[in-house]
Amino acid sequence: MKIGNIAGKIASSLMAGLSGCLLLASTGVAASPPTEIQFAKGAYRSTWSGVIKDGNKRFKLHLTKGQSLKIGGEDVYTWSVITPKGTILGCDGSNSCPPEAEIAALPYSGVYIISTDYRMSNCADCPTSRTRQVTVLFEAR
């Protein structure tokens, strides 16, 4: 193996680790392993329903370069993406996307980590909760 290839692999591993640290720092909680989302054969949509804790949840999706990605659901507040190479993708120049926004063309094929954030109350003046039942829609075309 050439020195350049080794350096590239080391840099890629460091970027992935750094992205995980950034995610941990931004959420303020220890990140649990992401929940894997799979699409049925021929499908471009999938949903996940479950209980989230402390306002965020991470998911793992296997996606292909050039696919568009949209995350939605009435419970989702914002979402962001960590690419297989460790870079963070958002919408409109930010590090996150609002619900139903779309990332038009993914830059790589491989495993993407989707970080979703949620409001933990039903209104501005309502008390917050540590857990909440949510449904998330994943769409990749």
Give pLDDT tens digits for 65-96: 999 999 999 889 999 999 999 999 999 889 99
Q: Whole-number mean pLDDT of the chain? A: 84
The tokens describing 12, both together, are 């890629």
What is 67-110 written as a DSSP string?
--EEEE-TTEEEEEEE-TTS-EE-STTSS-B-TT-EE-S-SSSE
User: What's the DSSP call for residue 50?
Assistant: E
Q: Tell me the per-residue pLDDT of 28-59, one tens digit each, with 9 for 90 and over.
A: 555 689 999 999 999 999 999 999 999 999 99
Q: Which of 16, 139, 10 is nearest to 84 (CA)?
A: 16
Confidence band for 123, pLDDT divided at 50, 70 and 90: confident
Q: For residue 22, is pLDDT > 50?
A: no
Across 118-124, average pLDDT: 85
Question: For strand 88-89 and strand 35-36, is the pairing parallel, antiparallel, or unpaired?
Answer: unpaired
- In this prediction the pTM is 0.76
CB 115 within 8 A of CB 58: yes
